[in-house]
Structure 1
Amino acid sequence: MHSLRSRLLALWIMLVVSGIATGYLLFESFQQTANARLARSEELVARACRDLADRYQFFVAAWHGGPIDDRLRQQLTAVAQTALAAANGVEGGIWKADDGSLAYAYPTYEGTGPKTDLPAAELNSIREVNAEALRSGRAASIKQPGRSQVLIVHACPLQGPLPEVTGWTMTRAFTAEGPAYNQLLAGLVVLALTIFGSAAWLARVLYVWSRKIDLIETALDDRKNGLVGLPRVDLPRLAPTGAPELDRLVDALNSTGERLSAERRRAAAAERLAALGRMSAGLAHEIRNPIAAMRLKAENALAVPDGSRSSAALNTILQQVDRLDALLRDLLEMTQSRDPSFVEVDLAAFLARTVDTHRDLASARSIALTAGTGPTFSPLPKFDPSQVQRALDNLIINALQNTPAGGAITVEARRKNDMLLLRVADTGPGVAEELRERLFEPFVTGRADGTGLGLAIVREIARHHHGDVRLAEAAGGAVFEIEIPWQPS
């Protein structure tokens, strides 16, 4: 949770969870409200039925009997009207088992006029609940749930001179419609527009920022730009992302890259001057020694009048001239920049040919010289075989000069991801610690008769192939590795 992306993602998850939880709580609250309305409606019809029973008892207390005619029905209707006048939304009446409805009233009906007709759709339910109340001798109720409302019919026995008479009341409890339902829908709409809208907006912000950060990361990542194993000279110039906050970071990175590039150029210039100074000093030393030897031999030859030393002096002078010629040839090889001619190379044949050149010298020194390659890959690697063979020649000669009799030298070639790895390992004493940091610089050598240009030439050839050379860590001996692209782009 330390990155901005993870924090924004956590905030998005919290918003979604909060929206779901709030919606669930609103729905549960509505359900509880609907259940409460249903309970209140049940209590309302039960109380209305008791009021109807009380009014009926008051009426029959003063009734002197008589037939069930229109006049009695009108009086009983008035009783029902009075009993239900305070019960809003409740209709009901008086029921006799044999004669059916004796009275019906709906005093709180909100239609255009008073409702006097018994509801035909609910007649079976009214008959059933009255029969149940008459049979059991106590109040009975029927609930019939519908899609948006619950029909509640209640009946209670009526005591009096008329036999088998019950009072009944009926109402409807709305559960999925009405003001509460509309409020729930409005709340859910507001919830969706705010919380889920905010979550969607945040998700888009997170996605856009992630894409823009990925673009910056891709521009700076060597692996995603095919530059693995290749030295990156300068930082790339990043394009604006369109996000002000990220663009400030992009501007800072571009400015830093420009400053680093300028510093790199200044450092490279200083390094070139320093290298030139070291090379000049080394070259002067390497040339001075043969010249001094030739001068000494010539002076000794001239000091003897009979010329007896002239032949030996001339042979020594020719040897020193050969040494100077080899020195200048290596120096030109290192300093002249010649672009490689890339061709596909069969590694097995290439290594065999390279090793065979040094087989006789290795046998003469009792050194085992072997070559090996990894599995065959397609396509074949591409490099300049003449230049790479010269680099391997220098490494093999260096190994032959430093490996004692009875030792071994191994030359290997294998593929490592998208790179070609050439490896020369020997069982000699290894490289002195004081030489490791400057090993590939010109005129740095651990032998008195060496020029110190062989490893410098190897490095230049590797760099011309967009690769590099290094001294690898080893338990014993010296291991040099050249790494160049398998298929240069």
Structure 2
Amino acid sequence: MLRSLRGRLIVLLALLVVAAGATAWLMVGLFHQSAAAQVGQAAAENARACDAIASAYRLHSADWGAAPPAPDDTAARGRLSAVVQNALRNRPGVQGGIWHGDTGSLAYAFPTYDGAAPRTDPPGGELPRIREINAAALTSDRAASHRYGARSQTLLISACPLPGPIPHLTAWTMTWTFTFAGRSYYQLMAGQAVLLVTVLIAAALLTHLTMTWSRHVSQIETALSSYDVADLPVLPPTHERELDRIVLALNEAGRRLSAARQRGDTLARQMATAERLAAIGRVAAGVAHEIRNPIAAMRLKAESAVAGGAERQPQALRVILGEIERLDALVRRLLSITEHDEPKRELIEVSAFLEACVAEHTERAAAKQLTIASSADWQEARFDPDQVQRALDNLILNAINAAPAGSRIEVAALRRTDALVLSVHDRGSGPPVDIQDHLFEPFVTGRPDGTGLGLSIVREVAVAHGGAARFVSADHGTTFEIILPCPTS
């Protein structure tokens, strides 16, 4: 499975966003827990302030004895206000008072109020809530408290009954706690800001990295695809350390490949030169051998005719003419190898063409007790009939010379993908092993009476048609093939 660096970077960016979201959710949760703890602490402090008023009232009411003041007594209200003032003096942000179930507020104090003038009356907007909490404390005869939450702050009210000579009295306290304006809120905002900036910077870096790498990889891909494999381009540096290591390795590989290709070209030229020289040597040796024998025979006959008189001259002249004809045939076959005529392609009916080629050799094959048969998988193909017939004649003659008596020679036209394959098969043992690698070179032969030019002609005809000739050896006989590509084009 192929993996993309860009895809992995995108996944990494997505994971970073998810991690940032989870962290933000955790921070908000911790903030709410901190705000709840802050509200709980403020509620406890508010309840303790109410208990402090109750304790101060008990001490103050002990001096009244059996003659308590009336709830509407002005002097008594002033003393009760002093009691509340002293009880709340050291409790910042807490206000409170003493409440009568029938009369209402008897005393009120807010000693830690930061305003320019002291506050002497309960806040009018909260009187319904104050009345409600005091009524709850009187009804249950125990301390009561309530919270009123808002978006940025929470109102805490507590009330506790005041036992004593004046019935239906309760003490109450009230405070505000600002959950979204305290230290925890500012810590949350700072953390969220740092987290947001970190995520944005990381996202920008990852996006830049993804785009940069994608651009550099595309440039490298374009540069490599526009050049041949044998000649790699010199890639410019990308100024990305990891990518530049790959670029450096590719440039070094291209340099080594170019050097190896130059060495290979040099060796190929040297090998081609050596092969040409070797081929020239073999051709020269073959030509010298083939020419020396007829010349020697003619010389011998001429000397014999001169020494023997007029009786031997006609016979000697006939032998000399035969040797001259042999030399002429040798020269013609050499010329057929060296003259590279362009094939004159015609649309040929393959089956009829093979039958005509086989018919010319039927008598020669019958003389050796051989049979020749032809078959064709093709109907029509384009090739030069004269050149191809000359090549097939050489293969059939070789097969007649090599096949054992009573066997069969098969000439066939086979279809292989986009090529026409003309094959000649016989039951002979084939050429000697030591010359099989050089069969199609001039003057290479396994027969004492052969010239070694027939297979050279076969190869030249195949190459002229853009094809090839090859030898196939098997346990059941020998096959020579002429491969002609795209015969129907």
Is the shorter-chain TM-score for this pair beyond 0.5, marking a shared fold?
yes
> Does 2:259 match 1:259?
yes
> Does 2:218 match 1:211?
yes
Q: Which residue pairs with 2:71 in the alignment?
A: 67
Do 2:438 and 2:444's aligned partners in 1 also have CA atoms closer than 8 Å?
Answer: yes
Mark the CA change 1:103 to 1:259 in structure 2 (over 3 Å): closer, same or farther: farther
C-alpha distance in structure 1 between counterparts of 2:144 and 2:475, whole Å: 101
Task: Give the secondary-structure state (helix, strand or coil) at the position aligned to 2:372.
Answer: coil
- The CA RMSD measured in Å over matched residues stands at 5.3
2:375 is aligned, of 361, 366, 369, to 369
Q: Give 1:96 shift.
A: 6.1
TM-score by length of 2: 0.66
Task: Give the secondary-structure state (helix, strand or coil) at the position aligned to 1:174.
Answer: coil
Do 1:51 and 1:83's aligned partners in 2 also have CA atoms closer than 8 Å?
Answer: yes
Mark the CA change 1:473 to 1:245 in structure 2 (over 3 Å): closer, same or farther: farther
Mark the CA change 1:145 to 1:423 in structure 2 (over 3 Å): closer, same or farther: farther
* CA shift digits 1:255-283 (9 cap, x unpaired): 33442343233213212211211220232
Mark the CA change 1:133 to 1:163 in structure 2 (over 3 Å): closer, same or farther: closer
Q: Which residue pairs with 2:38 in the alignment?
A: 40
Instruction: Kindly provide the amino acid, as one letter, of the partner of residue 185 in structure 2.
Output: G
Mark the CA change 1:90 to 1:437 in structure 2 (over 3 Å): closer, same or farther: farther
Q: Which runs of 5+ in 1 are unaligned?
A: 223-233, 374-383, 415-419
Q: Which residue pairs with 1:411 in the alignment?
A: 414
* CA shift digits 1:196-241 (9 cap, x unpaired): 344334323432342244235435675xxxxxxxxxxx42443535
Instruction: Kindly provide the amino acid, as one letter, of the partner of residue 358 in structure 1.
Output: L
Q: Between 24-33 and 161-170, report the one with greater CA deviation.
A: 161-170
C-alpha distance in structure 1 between counterparts of 2:385 and 2:112, whole Å: 107
1:174 is aligned, of 158, 173, 180, to 180
> Does 2:164 match 1:163?
no
> Does 2:326 match 1:330?
no
C-alpha distance in structure 1 between counterparts of 2:199 and 2:256, whole Å: 46
Q: Give 1:306 shift.
A: 3.2
Mark the CA change 1:426 to 1:325 in structure 2 (over 3 Å): closer, same or farther: closer
- Higher Cα Rg: structure 1 or 2? 2
Q: Give 1:357 shift.
A: 3.0
Task: Give the secondary-structure state (helix, strand or coil) at the position aligned to 2:315.
Answer: coil
Q: Which runs of 5+ in 2 are unaligned?
A: 62-67, 306-311, 363-370
Q: Which residue pairs with 1:196 in the alignment?
A: 203
TM-score by length of 1: 0.66
* CA shift digits 1:417-474 (9 cap, x unpaired): xxx5665677667998766766777766777554353575478558xx7x99988999
Mark the CA change 1:291 to 1:26 in structure 2 (over 3 Å): closer, same or farther: same
* CA shift digits 1:339-362 (9 cap, x unpaired): x99xxx9xxx96x64565334335
Mark the CA change 1:457 to 1:167 in structure 2 (over 3 Å): closer, same or farther: same
C-alpha distance in structure 1 between counterparts of 2:395 and 2:104, whole Å: 124
Do 2:298 and 2:319's aligned partners in 1 also have CA atoms closer than 8 Å?
Answer: no
Q: Give 1:179 shift.
A: 0.9
Q: Which residue pairs with 2:354 in the alignment?
A: 358
Instruction: Kindly provide the amino acid, as one letter, of the partner of residue 34 in structure 1.
Output: H
Do 2:97 and 2:173's aligned partners in 1 also have CA atoms closer than 8 Å?
Answer: yes
Instruction: Kindly provide the amino acid, as one letter, of the partner of residue 276 in structure 1.
Output: R
C-alpha distance in structure 2 between counterparts of 1:239 and 1:217, whole Å: 9
Do 1:92 and 1:106's aligned partners in 2 also have CA atoms closer than 8 Å?
Answer: yes
Q: Which residue pairs with 1:298 in the alignment?
A: 298
Mark the CA change 1:56 to 1:133 in structure 2 (over 3 Å): closer, same or farther: closer
